[in-house]
Chains A and B, each alone.
Chain A
Amino acid sequence: QQQVKQSPQSLIVQKGGISIINCAYENTAFDYFPWYQQFPGKGPALLIAIRPDVSEKKEGRFTISFNKSAKQFSLHIMDSQPGDSATYFCAASMIGSGGTSYGKLTFGQGTILTVHP
């Protein structure tokens, strides 16, 4: 119930194309869904996050689409650039108001994105 499944494992896109990464979760108590971006040799960094009260959130070229009934969410990168080449992780947590489970992120397995110039 704590799993977050991410696909694809790797993705190759041409410059200017759209990159789409998908995640599915099982625990309906999850109420916070961030995406993290990780460059080689660096720690992951928050890219964009969404709460389940909205179906879409956009920040620049990055958009999260959220489908609560299907328990799925996805990251869309528009006009993909070579500088976007990195590993992307979806995650989920329960923000809630307390308890030991709240605030813990459960990560997907990651997607290695390569954007060719």
Chain B
Amino acid sequence: DARVTQTPRDKVTEMGQEVTMRCQPILGHNTVFWYRQTMMQGLELLAYFRNRAPLDDSGMPKDRFSAEMPDATLATLKIQPSEPRDSAVYFCASGFRGGPGGDEQFFGPGTRLTVL
């Protein structure tokens, strides 16, 4: 069945290293979201793409985070350089804006990032 996939599922890295997280949205979906989940802040929206165009990345620290959609089947979230405060679970979600399902977002399993 169709689902959002994310890689890697777990990532442990040292402070200062570059981290790249990947997401494959559900085929045919035209919106992609990146969220960060922590105990303290809950679910925070980092970036939002529609038809591969970035619409809103106001939730993302611009100096170290970047999000792209090189093509319709791949979304990436990069952190460079990583810091311990970036430790969180990062979720990708996709949806179809304008479809019969309304604004349902389908979440991937997440990437658990630990920055030492």
Contacts and interface: CB of A to CB of B under 8 A. Distances in A.
Interface stretch (A21-29, A37-45, A68-76): A37-45
Is chain A's binding surface mostly helix, strand, loop or mixed? loop
The residue among B31, B48, B108 with the most chain A CB atoms within 10 A of its own CB is B48
Interface string A37-57: 000011111100100000000
Given A104-B56, A105-B45, A108-B42, 12 more contacts: A34-B103, A34-B104, A41-B109, A42-B110, A43-B91, A44-B107, A93-B103, A95-B102, A100-B48, A102-B97, A107-B43, A110-B43
Classify chain B's interface size: 20 to 34
A43 B102 contact: no
A72 to B, nearest CB: 19
Contacts of B33: 104-105
Interface in A8-40: 32, 34, 36
Interface of B: 4, 31, 33, 42-43, 45, 48, 50, 55-56, 91, 93, 95, 97, 102-110
Contacts of B48: 100, 103-104
B93 A43 contact: yes
Contacts of B55: 100
Contact of A46 (B4, B43, B104, B110): B104
